[in-house]
Structure 1
Amino acid sequence: MPYRETDATRAARDRRRTALVGAGVDVVAERGFAGATVQAVATRAGLSASSVYTYFPARSDLLTAVFRQIASVELEHVRTAAEPRPDDAPATAAQARLARVVDTFARRALRRRRLARALLLEPADPAVEAERTLFAREYADLFGAIAAAGVGSGELPEQDTRIVGAALVGAVASALTSPLAPLGADVDPDALVATILGFCLRGVVGASV
């Protein structure tokens, strides 16, 4: 008779796969994608390296799943911050939403800097790079949609919101993770976030804020 997977074995398989992805997230947070070897992830998950290939045909498949897990969580936090709120003043609603998005993005990146750098900047397998591009587009679309809402309401001046979205993502990510980012021990996180936010708001409002 052909083998038929039972509910119990399916659940066990799903648990092990979830454990591997979770272990991968922890390893990437500590060592980046370069240090996330199959052996390192398997050891963290309490499994053998050979068993990893039961769930992921190649290391690139494992790292892609890890990247997708990390990026999905971060994107969800930012999307929540972008939601309009009843107390947003109509005259500055887009700016308030943009402020929450930048603040959420920046502070989460600052809390886990190694992970943020891996997520946003670190060279990785082409499959991971493809996922990175997809998520970068999601962020750009989100920023662009906020700017478009502001333009539509008359709060913001006319501008190409597609370019604005891409520019904002690039500015925030570079200020937080690039080699030029001022992230020494003497940097005040609040001042850093305020500076990034001020830059972004001036870019979309077109005046001092």
Structure 2
Amino acid sequence: MAISQTERKGRSAQVANDRRLAILRAARDLVTRVGFREAQMNAVAEEAGVALATLYRNFSSKAELMVEVVGLVSQREVDAAAGMAVSDGSAADRLWASAWTFASRALRGRRLAHALVAEPVEPEIETARLAYRRKLARVFETVIDQGIRDEDFPPQDAQASAACIVGSLFEGLVGPLALNGHRTDAERESHARSIVAFCLRGVGHTGAMPGL
């Protein structure tokens, strides 16, 4: 049976989409191993199993590719934190759970997390990372607003408090995420839990820390 022109176009579009996703996954995996700076385009092409020319037909520059990698990975992390933010429990429970989810996932994937948080990058990639921070802050802002309405937290500027939580998580985790081998996994986890506890105290939580 002959394949119609519409079907051929559909199959061609699917092949192109699959190839693009394969390139993005390859770039993500490479960044996970070596960071943004060392993830070169020829290495991405080899990892994805495509010709370098094919890679450049999909992404005109390394910066364009890495911006999409940041978007892909950061959305996954935001979704994980947001899932905990709408779980059961008090606002303090949910704020702890969402912040700890972010921190613990960062500790498990330290190289990629460090690239997303602290590695020096091109301006385009930094802009994408700033968008990541804003999305994560909105997750925390929602929980803080609910906590204020439920009188779990004192009145405050929820947007400012959420931005401070993101800053504490990003900056506080830079040390534990650095791949210098001077900290054990247990020390990194303890440090991260202390940061999350600090964040809860910052929004006015005075009770026992949910995760401690």
Q: Classify the TM-score, shorter chain.
A: 0.7 to 0.9
Using the size of structure 2 for normalisation, the TM-score is: 0.87
Equivalence for 2:146? 149
| Offset, 1:7 | 1.5
Consecutive unaligned residues in structure 2, runs of 5 or more: none
Q: Is the 8 A contact 1:121 1:178 kept in 2?
A: no
Q: Is the 8 A contact 1:176 1:183 kept in 2?
A: no
| Offset, 1:200 | 1.2
CA 1:15–1:206 in 2, change beyond 3 Å: closer, same or farther? Answer: closer
Structure 1 residues 130-151: Cα deviation after superposition (integer angstroms, max 9, x where no partner): 1111111111121122111111
- Aligned counterparts of 1:38 and 1:180: Cα–Cα separation in 2: 25
SS of structure 2 residue aligned to 1:80:
helix
What percent identity do the matched residue pairs reach?
31
Structure 1 residues 25-54: Cα deviation after superposition (integer angstroms, max 9, x where no partner): 001001111011111111111112121111
Match of 2:110 among 109, 113, 117: 113
Kindly report the root-mean-square deviation, in angstroms, between the aligned alpha carbons of the 2 structures.
Answer: 2.2
CA 1:108–1:180 in 2, change beyond 3 Å: closer, same or farther? Answer: closer
- Aligned counterparts of 1:38 and 1:183: Cα–Cα separation in 2: 29
Equivalence for 1:18? 21
Instruction: Tell me which amino acid in the other structure corresponds to 2:201.
Output: R
- Aligned counterparts of 1:104 and 1:81: Cα–Cα separation in 2: 8
Match of 1:61 among 64, 88, 91: 64
* Count of residue pairs brought into register by the alignment: 201
Equivalence for 1:52? 55
Equivalence for 2:167? 170
Q: After the TM superposition, which residues 81-96 of structure 1 pair with which residues of structure 2 at under 5 Å, given as runs?
A: 81-85=84-88, 88=89, 93-96=90-93
Is 2:132 the partner of 1:129?
no
| Offset, 1:190 | 4.0
- Aligned counterparts of 1:190 and 1:32: Cα–Cα separation in 2: 22
Instruction: Tell me which amino acid in the other structure corresponds to 1:128.
Output: I
Equivalence for 2:196? 197
Using the size of structure 1 for normalisation, the TM-score is: 0.88
Consecutive unaligned residues in structure 1, runs of 5 or more: none
- Aligned counterparts of 2:177 and 2:86: Cα–Cα separation in 1: 31
Equivalence for 1:8? 11
| Offset, 1:207 | 3.6
Moved >4 Å (runs of 4+): 178-183
CA 1:96–1:132 in 2, change beyond 3 Å: closer, same or farther? Answer: same
Instruction: Tell me which amino acid in the other structure corresponds to 1:17.
Output: R
CA 1:179–1:82 in 2, change beyond 3 Å: closer, same or farther? Answer: closer
